[in-house]
Structure 1
Amino acid sequence: MQTSTDRDAYRAAEEKLEALAPATAPDRLSGIADDVLAVAELLDREPRLRRALADGARDGQERAELLRGLLAGKVSDEAVDLAAALATGRWSSPTQLLGGVERLGVAVLLSAANRADELGEVEDELFRFNQVVDGSPQLASVLSDPTTPPERRGKLVSDLLDGKARPVTVRLVRLALAGFGGRGFSASLTRLVELAAAGRDRQVAYVTAAALLTDDEERRLGERLEQMYGRRVSVRVRVDPTVIGGLSVRVGSDLYDGTVLRRLSEARGAMGK
């Protein structure tokens, strides 16, 4: 679990990214993101290095210089600076440091989409692809199976998305295949949707309905949720005919279940008492 110390360590690198992104072209940011994610892959492969960079007994600048020495000339200077900012911070564990580097790579990718004015579309494409996967047990099984060769799963994603989704979306889906933040594939995609929404200062509301909402219904629901939570909300609708009618809405840990299915279940329970 991430601690306040971890959040402070991540914030230092996040501030560097916030200064870098507005003056950097989207394609350049995408390249920097790939470099940062390559650093995450390195730390994943090298547990001794991970432990050394998270060692609180070492001075933060010493840890940063160790990483700079390893990365110099191998990745972009911007990626080195961002990764070094993370290494300077104090982390609660090597695993949290690895997660911070991986999340920072995602943040740079999302910044690239934002600079290209495509962040909303990337969020939508990630959500829709997750819906496609959830609706196909066979596809979900293949993409979620760590014993299936990564090359096969990656090719399947390319076949499904290349030319149909933005490059940032495809890159994020590939990251989900590897289990972003130690999550399963579907959970990784869900988390990436939420990070994309956060990049637009929005919170995600997951809505389950028996049929698609009309544009007006979705708009009114979004406005109501925004009043409740005091911030903009990205409404994401999943159709499930088994709920019969009504809506189930989840925002963060809050769940509002007003479906007919729930009411029937409660009625059956009451009759059985």
Structure 2
Amino acid sequence: MKIIHTMPLLIRGDSSYNEDLRMAKNCFESLQSSDDNFVVIYNQGCLSNDELNHLLSSFQLPSVILGNGTNVGIAKARQTCFEYIWNHFKEVHYISEIHVDMVFPRNWYEPLLDLLENSDEPMISPGILTQYGELQPIGNSAIIPETIEELIKLLEDSARNEVHEGFVHPVVHKANALREIGGYDTRFIKGKQGYEDDSLLVGYLYYMGTRTNWRPKCYLKSLVYHATMAQRMSLPDKHLDFDLNGVGLFFQHGAHGLKQLSKIHKNATTFDLLLEKFSQIL
């Protein structure tokens, strides 16, 4: 086994339940076709662990369920999955971060592992096709087919041997590099969502060395469907979590880290505004 996948799984209740369950089934059905399909899931609700086990029993998908159905946040869930893998699967060289609103071609990770094995890159993303038909990070467009089978064929046919700067999910990490930077430091990233990816990107930049001008990259020889539903943006009090994690990001990486994130994301004003906000406190 070369790679293990991680997923914080949140199935929302009420009017979103059926849609979230449909996405989960499509995701699991597509993931099971890959040779390496072991997934560590952190259950964040609203299914019980027994209900989630029952759902997974419909698929040929080896898995471990962590958590108990409580939404502890993205960073804590991901970090718990990472630590489980580091402790129980030390021989596995690669760890992915996947989402419930994704559909995967068979062995989608293989081109990404080939690139990582033959480069100094600590992590790599595939290209993604969104529900709006946008191919990120390059911005091309396509018409989304009606069936999963047609969608997977479109992803396979649209792949190209190109590397572009950019950051999207899913992500494949070199397990040793991820462990070296510590993963998500939940002493700082305490909120349920917001800036957790940015905390990793700064960590990788320092790991690679600022003189290298490292940037996250996408290898379009692998394409994955990611609806980018912003599922968790419908949760209450999300602005409080973003504010909390914004403070945590500043305490973790400081003004220099925020400046680096503006460069990584190519003039993202979010980090300039954060820096201005915190500089006024001093």
**One fold, TM greater than 0.5?**
no
Structure of greater Rg: 1
TM-score between the two structures when normalised by the length of structure 1: 0.31
Greater share of helix residues, 1 or 2? 1
TM-score between the two structures when normalised by the length of structure 2: 0.30
Greater share of strand residues, 1 or 2? 2
